[in-house]
């Protein structure tokens, strides 16, 4: 605490990112939902050809080459795509662009258990928030989002940390019930599920879908997130970007991202592999008596049942395996386990067996 901090800095409760191992530390890292495999080999070719003199110039502001590739990939127009420095940044821009701030504003509706950056941004930008409890089975309470429309809606689908996906028909119900405000669907994990709200874009001008290359394209370190929405919403995003940082995506990131997105075969094969490992590990944990909802993401939300989740987390950590534990009501008996390579997951299962035996 410094006496020079202003009131906001004093009072804000920042987001706490998952633990990052120190360089050189031998750790199996299953705590931040990264992809365990290296990105498309074409990324290496781009990096080998980086044009250093070009770095003397500012990058193209709108990430045109990335927007064009995303537009091709998703079958939309480039004018419907916005890129930023990770989806965390595009979420921050969206909160500023579309949700009202101030004590008299109608609250933004979010699930009580979801991506923990939403309340942080709401607090940072003075957006009143109303948290809608998840149902007993951790699914999003669609009726509650429809009954009492307020100042907009934001949720992750599939949701984190629960790993559960809501059918597109339910997303549509929420859109229909909230026609006067933006409905933000955070699809950071949609590549690992079989559906996306993007199919609703032609019908709903208030739908904003965010995505990221962090999970599906093994590029968390590159920081490339995006929005797909109606052109008028994209224009709103650009107004905020150009009032904050006109060049959010650097020259190298733009080239790498465009190249990685264009390698469809790599993405398809990588996603298939992760989903296969996920389903195998889930059935292994079920065999051991754990409660593990069916995941539509690259992680499992898993409760050990017979041993407290925090104990398993601590013991795994002691064995060099990092998973995520949230000491929060309702989810404090669960671990969020990112899907690593098959070998990493086998090591984790072995460690879990040792823990069950008291070791
Ligand atoms: C639901 C959700 N949205 C957004 C993000 C942020 O992703 P990015 O790396 O694109 O900032 C995450 C990261 O874990 C996430 O879980």
- Mean per-residue pLDDT, 294-321: 97
- Mean per-residue pLDDT, 69-75: 98
CATH code at 41-262: 3.40.640.10
Cα 33 to ligand 1 centre (Å): 9
Q: Is the pLDDT of residue 278 over 90?
A: yes
pLDDT of residue 21: 87
Cα 212 to ligand 1 centre (Å): 7
Give the C-alpha distances (Å, rounded to integers) separating 102 from 6, 7, 95, 127, 128: 18, 16, 13, 6, 7
Q: Which atom of ligand 1 sits closest to the CA of residue 114?
A: 1
Q: Is the CB of 298 under 6 A from ligand 1?
A: no
Q: Is the pLDDT of residue 356 over 90?
A: yes
Q: Is the CB of 84 under 6 A from ligand 1?
A: no
Q: Is the pLDDT of residue 247 over 90?
A: yes
Distance from C-alpha of 274 to C-alpha of 272, rounded to nearest angstrom:
6
pLDDT class of 197 with cuts at 50, 70, 90: very high
- Mean per-residue pLDDT, 163-177: 98
Q: Which atom of ligand 1 sits closest to the CA of residue 87?
A: 10
pLDDT of residue 294: 97
pLDDT of residue 149: 87
Q: Is the CB of 214 under 6 A from ligand 1?
A: yes
- Mean per-residue pLDDT, 54-58: 95
Q: Is the CB of 160 under 6 A from ligand 1?
A: yes
pLDDT of residue 148: 86
pLDDT of residue 270: 98
Q: Is the CB of 59 under 6 A from ligand 1?
A: no
Q: Where are the domains of the chain?
A: 18-38+265-356, 41-262
pLDDT class of 24 with cuts at 50, 70, 90: confident
Work out the burial of residue 18: count CB atoms within 10 Å of its CB; fewer than 13 is exposed, 13-18 middle, 19 or more buried. middle
Mean of all residue pLDDT scores within the chain: 97
Q: Which atom of ligand 1 sits closest to the CA of residue 189?
A: 1
Determine how many CB atoms are found less than 10 A away from the CB of residue 274.
25
- Mean per-residue pLDDT, 211-217: 98
Distance from C-alpha of 160 to C-alpha of 96, rounded to nearest angstrom:
22
Q: Is the pLDDT of residue 198 over 90?
A: yes
pLDDT of residue 147: 92
Q: Is the pLDDT of residue 25 over 90?
A: no
Cα 185 to ligand 1 centre (Å): 12
For ligand 1, atom 12, which residue shows the shortest CA distance?
Answer: 188
Q: Is the pLDDT of residue 359 over 90?
A: no
Q: Is the CB of 270 under 6 A from ligand 1?
A: no
Q: Is the dihedral of CA 131, 136, 138, 139 positive or negative?
A: negative
pLDDT class of 23 with cuts at 50, 70, 90: confident
Query: 301 with 162: CB under 8 angstroms?
Result: yes
- Spell out the residues 6+ positions from residue 4 whose beta carbon is closer than 8 angstroms to its own: none
Give the C-alpha distances (Å, rounded to integers) separating 267 from 40, 199, 210, 254: 8, 20, 18, 18
Q: Is the pLDDT of residue 302 over 90?
A: yes
pLDDT of residue 22: 86
User: What predicted TM-score, i.e. pTM, was given to this entire model?
Assistant: 0.97
Q: Which of 20, 87, 161, 211 gets mutated to test ligand 1 (max ligand atoms within 8 A of its CB)? A: 87
pLDDT of residue 20: 87
pLDDT of residue 159: 98
Summarised one tens digit per residue, pLDDT across range 113-155 is 999 999 999 999 999 999 999 999 999 999 999 998 899 999 9
Topology (CATH) of 18-38+265-356:
3.90.1150
Distance from C-alpha of 345 to C-alpha of 348, rounded to nearest angstrom:
5
> Mapped to the 3 state alphabet, what secondary structure does the chain carry?
CCCCCCHHHHHCCCCCCCCCCCCCCCCEEECCCCCCCCCCHHHHHHHHCCCHHHHHCCCCCCCHHHHHHHHHHHCCCHHHEEEECHHHHHHHHHHHHHCCCCCCCCCEEEECCCCCHHHHHHHHCCCCEEEECCCCCCCCCHHHHHHCCCCCEEEECCCCCCCCCCCHHHHHHHHHHCCCCCEEEECCCHHHCCCCHHHHCCCCCCEEEEEECCCCCCCCCCCCEEEEECHHHHHHHHHHHCCCCCCCCCHHHHHHHHHHHHCHHHHHHHHHHHHHHHHHHHHHHHHCCCECCCCCCCEEEEECCCCCHHHHHHHHHHCCEEEEECCCCCCCCCEEEECCCHHHHHHHHHHHHHHHCCC
Q: Is the pLDDT of residue 19 over 90?
A: no
Q: Which of 93, 110, 185, 188 gets mutated to test ligand 1 (max ligand atoms within 8 A of its CB)? A: 188
Q: Which atom of ligand 1 sits closest to the CA of residue 213?
A: 10
Cα 142 to ligand 1 centre (Å): 22
């Amino acid at each position: 605490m410094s006496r020079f901090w202003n009131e906001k800095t004093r009072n804000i409760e920042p987001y706490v990112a998952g633990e990052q191992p120190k360089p050189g530390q031998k750790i199996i890292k299953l705590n931040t939902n990264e992809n365990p495999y290296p990105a498309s080999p074409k990324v290496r070719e781009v990096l080998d050809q980086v044009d250093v003199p070009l770095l003397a110039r500012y990058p193209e502001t709108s990430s045109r080459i990335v927007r064009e590739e995303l537009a091709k990939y998703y079958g939309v127009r480039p004018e419907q795509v916005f890129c930023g420095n990770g989806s965390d940044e595009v979420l921050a821009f969206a909160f500023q662009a579309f949700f009202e701030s101030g004590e008299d504003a109608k609250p933004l509706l979010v699930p009580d258990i979801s991506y923990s950056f939403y309340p942080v941004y709401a607090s940072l930008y003075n957006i009143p928030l109303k948290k809608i409890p998840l149902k007993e089975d951790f699914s999003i309470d669609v009726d509650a989002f429809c009954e009492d429309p307020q100042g907009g809606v934001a949720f992750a689908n599939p949701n984190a940390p629960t790993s559960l996906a809501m059918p597109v028909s339910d997303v549509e119900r929420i859109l229909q019930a909230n026609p006067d405000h933006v409905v933000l669907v955070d699809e950071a994990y949609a590549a690992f599920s079989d559906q996306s709200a993007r199919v609703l874009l032609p019908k709903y001008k208030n739908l904003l879908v965010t995505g990221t290359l962090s999970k599906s394209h093994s590029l968390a370190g590159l920081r490339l997130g995006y929005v797909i929405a109606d052109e008028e919403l994209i224009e709103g995003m650009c107004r905020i970007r150009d009032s904050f940082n006109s060049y959010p995506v650097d020259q190298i990131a733009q080239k790498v991202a465009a190249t990685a997105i264009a390698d469809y075969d790599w993405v398809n094969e990588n996603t298939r592999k992760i989903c296969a490992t996920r389903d195998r590990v889930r059935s292994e944990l079920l065999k051991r008596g754990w409660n593990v909802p069916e995941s539509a993401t690259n992680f499992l939300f898993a409760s050990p049942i017979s041993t407290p989740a925090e104990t398993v987390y601590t013991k795994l950590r002691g064995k060099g395996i990092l998973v995520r534990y949230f000491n929060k009501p309702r989810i404090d008996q669960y671990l969020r386990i990112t899907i690593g390579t098959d070998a990493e997951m086998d090591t984790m299962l072995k460690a879990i067996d040792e823990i069950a035996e008291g070791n």
